Amino acid sequence: MSQSRAVPMVPFLSRCNMALRRVLALAAALGRRSCCSKPSLPPDFVEALRTVVGAPNVSTATAVREQHGHDESMHPCAPPDVVVWPQAVEQVQELAALCHRSRVPMVPFGTGTGLEGGVNAVQGGVCFDLSRMDAIAELSLEDFSVAVEPGVTHKALNKHLRGTGLWFPVVPAVSMWEWTPSPPASPAHPLLADPGADASLCGMAATGASGTNAVRYGAMRPNVLNLRVVLPDGRLLHTAGPGRHPRKRAAGYDLTSLFVGSEGTLGFLTQATLRLHPLPEASAVTIASFPSVGAAVACTVQVLQAAVPVARIEFLDEVMADACSRFSEMGLPVAATLLLELHGSQRSLAEQQQQTEEIVHQNGGSSVAWAEGQEERERLWSMRHNAWYAALALRPGCQGYSTDVCVPISRLPDVVVETKQDLQASNITGPMVGHVGDGNFHCILVFNSQDPEEAQRIHAFTERLGRRALAAGGTCTGEHGVGLGKRTLLQEELGPEGLDTLRSIKAALDPHNLMNPGKVL
């Protein structure tokens, strides 16, 4: 394939190859300025920003802007014109009003751990880095609720909750760029010491994130009780009314659910009131190998049908199981594999374990050994959370790209098998890992970003995977969001009436298209 067809390479450029990224970003920025004749910031605009938040909390330095111009995806860096660090919601309001008056684009930024280019400032403007707003407030153990600002990550919250008997169970599965195992001698509840990715809880609300526990505890949406939102013109909205956190409401349209998953395109989420859950008395983890994908999925369906209150059911295809096994030195069979976690009281756990074992065996699964101690538990979950690195280790020196789809569970075996055939026919390394209880899975595509032909193949594959999920009655994204990368697939998923409806809502709440422009729609 000739170099003239190299355009699709761009989305998959190595994040690690920062020098190349910066050159491209600069070119893109220059190109944007010259081609799109986007006006530069008004005179004295940056000075006005400084007046609001103080000079040390405003930066136009190239390195800072570039650092804020990308997330953990492969989308090319698109730096904002300026980065601001508001310290309080009133400052966010003043800054937004300033931008609104001057029609300057605004991009919210939390921890930058998104996976679909949600923070890339494709039309420049002001990046609002909200990480310094990190208050945890209004913790109520009786109401099972707490309010967090954008600088609070789920790890920070769960650390804060130690000793209360409560936790926030929505945990992203894995971060590509950061992974911190819990301290070896942690005295906390094993679930609070869970290894895994870290992300801003408000950012997780913004993208509608979920993760491994969603099958039991739900994704972000049902776990957000209220959002304090700064609207594009600087006004303050509380989606469930100011200071409210009832467990349920039937009062007017559900603004909370509308802003969850809006990916920063409707306003700034400056505080999220979250629903907490009681920590289970005990938990148990096991791993089982199956003769086929179908058998692993059938096992999952039967566990759910039997009303076993399973907390996590993670699927690894045989390529991923093998890669993880070798990376984490586990000695697992090369087979479709399930990692199951049960939560409950000590006594109920024993019954759940027995039911699970029976269903595993009925589906031809391997014998089940339960890891109940924290060390053994962490060893299994570390293996799962190291899936990204295990995948990369399949092709040393190559890059990774994680894509996500979600299908009705009945269609999962077919979709997985077809996807495996597609991977083989396309000569792509793409181990699969997924939250099988929800029908949600990821392909971790490992490829040589320096090879435009391979990048093109990866790009075409991800489009086919999205369309395969749509054809199976599923969605192009179960938890990563649309961002920059899945806008075309979203059109196909919703159809013209759906997209028109989204556009109407966007136009109604952000008529000047200032909030994170170019994303989702």
Q: Are 467 and 422 in contact (CB under 8 A)?
A: no
Residues 270-299 that bind a second copy (CB under 8 A): 277-281
Q: What is the C-alpha separation between 234 and 95, in angstroms, rounded?
A: 7
CB of 409 to a second copy, least distance (A): 6
Q: Tell me: does residue 257 bind a second copy (CB under 8 A).
A: yes
Q: Tell me: does residue 7 bind a second copy (CB under 8 A).
A: no
Q: What is the C-alpha separation between 122 and 415, in angstroms, rounded?
A: 33
Q: Are 323 and 296 in contact (CB under 8 A)?
A: no
Residues 40-59 that bind a second copy (CB under 8 A): none
Q: Tell me: does residue 261 bind a second copy (CB under 8 A).
A: yes
- Three-class HEC string of 226-273: EEEEECCCCCEEECCCCCCCCCCCCCCCCHHHHHCCCCCCCCEEEEEE
CB of 106 to a second copy, least distance (A): 18
Q: Tell me: does residue 207 bind a second copy (CB under 8 A).
A: yes
Report which secondary-structure segment, H or E, holds 84. strand 82-84
Please identify, using beta-carbon distances, which residue of 58 and 96 lies nearer to a second copy.
96
* Choices 73-81, 90-98, 168-176, 210-218 (CB under 8 A): range interacting with a second copy: 210-218
The DSSP result for 277-319, as a single string, is: EEPPSEEEEEEEEESSHHHHHHHHHHHHHTT--EEEEEEE-HH
Residue 134 CA: distances (Å) to CA of 88, 513, 514: 9, 28, 25
CB of 432 to a second copy, least distance (A): 17
Q: What is the C-alpha separation between 143 and 193, in angstroms, rounded?
A: 24
Q: Tell me: does residue 244 bind a second copy (CB under 8 A).
A: yes
CB of 190 to a second copy, least distance (A): 15
| Residues touching a second copy, count (CB under 8 A) | 101
CA dihedral 459, 113, 16, 85 (to 10 degrees): 130
Please identify, using beta-carbon distances, which residue of 323 and 509 lies nearer to a second copy.
509
Closest CA relative to residue 126, chosen from 149, 99, 157: 99
Work out which of 438, 443, 446, 461 binds a second copy, going by CB under 8 A. 438
Q: Is residue 212 helix, strand or coil?
A: coil
Work out which of 210, 212, 271, 286 binds a second copy, going by CB under 8 A. 210
Read off the amino acid at residue 158: N
CB of 400 to a second copy, least distance (A): 20
* Choices 45-53, 177-185, 187-195, 253-261 (CB under 8 A): range interacting with a second copy: 253-261
Please identify, using beta-carbon distances, which residue of 18 and 350 lies nearer to a second copy.
350
Residues 106-165 that bind a second copy (CB under 8 A): 140-145, 165
Please identify, using beta-carbon distances, which residue of 136 and 236 lies nearer to a second copy.
236
CB of 263 to a second copy, least distance (A): 9
CB of 386 to a second copy, least distance (A): 24
Residues 485-514 that bind a second copy (CB under 8 A): 486, 489-490, 493-495, 497-498, 500-502, 504-509
Work out which of 238, 326, 467, 512 binds a second copy, going by CB under 8 A. 238
Site string for a second copy, 459-488 (x = CB under 8 A): -----------x--xxxxxxxxxx---x--
Site string for a second copy, 386-425 (x = CB under 8 A): --------------------xxxxx---------------
Please identify, using beta-carbon distances, which residue of 412 and 455 lies nearer to a second copy.
412
CA dihedral 266, 478, 221, 257 (to 10 degrees): 40
CB of 494 to a second copy, least distance (A): 5
Work out which of 44, 47, 178, 351 binds a second copy, going by CB under 8 A. 351
Q: What is the C-alpha separation between 201 and 260, in angstroms, rounded?
A: 11
Closest CA relative to residue 217, chosen from 140, 146, 299, 280: 280
Interior/surface letters 199-220, b for 16+ CB within 10 angstroms, e for the rest: bbbbbbbbbbbbbbbbbbbbbb
Q: Tell me: does residue 209 bind a second copy (CB under 8 A).
A: yes
CB of 405 to a second copy, least distance (A): 9
Burial class for 347, CB neighbours closer than 10 Å (0-12, 13-18, 19+): exposed
CB of 170 to a second copy, least distance (A): 11
Q: Which two tokens stand for residue 281?
A: 């008395």
Residues 295-334 that bind a second copy (CB under 8 A): 301, 304-307, 309
Closest CA relative to residue 513, chosen from 128, 233, 259: 233
Please identify, using beta-carbon distances, which residue of 229 and 390 lies nearer to a second copy.
229
